[in-house]
Amino acid sequence: MAERKAEAAAPVPATRRPWITAVLALAVIASAIGVIYTAHRSRELFRTLEQARREENDIQIEWRQLLLERSTLSSHARVEQIAAEQLQMALPVTEIPVTVAE
């Protein structure tokens, strides 16, 4: 059993060291490129999200303005004014007595 521990702890032969170093260096470079790409993509997505939020805010503002305009245009006073001015309509006179025969 002591022999196995000695074999496992044995140093890597000198002929394999450059290969291991090259592989590890490539892994580090690939990892760095991955981090750079991920950070860039994250910034792009955040920019897109902020633009969508701005558009949503603009649409909500426009919706509130349209609701206000609709309530203004459909108010009873405005309808009566248009009926009187453009259509020459008037309220009926309610002072005339009406007799209903049975």
Q: Which is more confidently placed, 90 or 50?
A: 50
Residue that is written with structure tokens 């309530």 in the block: 71
CA atoms within 13 A on the CB side of 97: 2
pTM of the predicted protein model: 0.54
Please give the share of the chain, as a percent, with pLDDT higher than 70. Answer: 86
Is residue 95 within 8 Å of 101, Cβ to Cβ? Answer: no
What is the per-residue pLDDT for 8?
A: 59
Check whether 87 has a pLDDT greater than 80.
yes
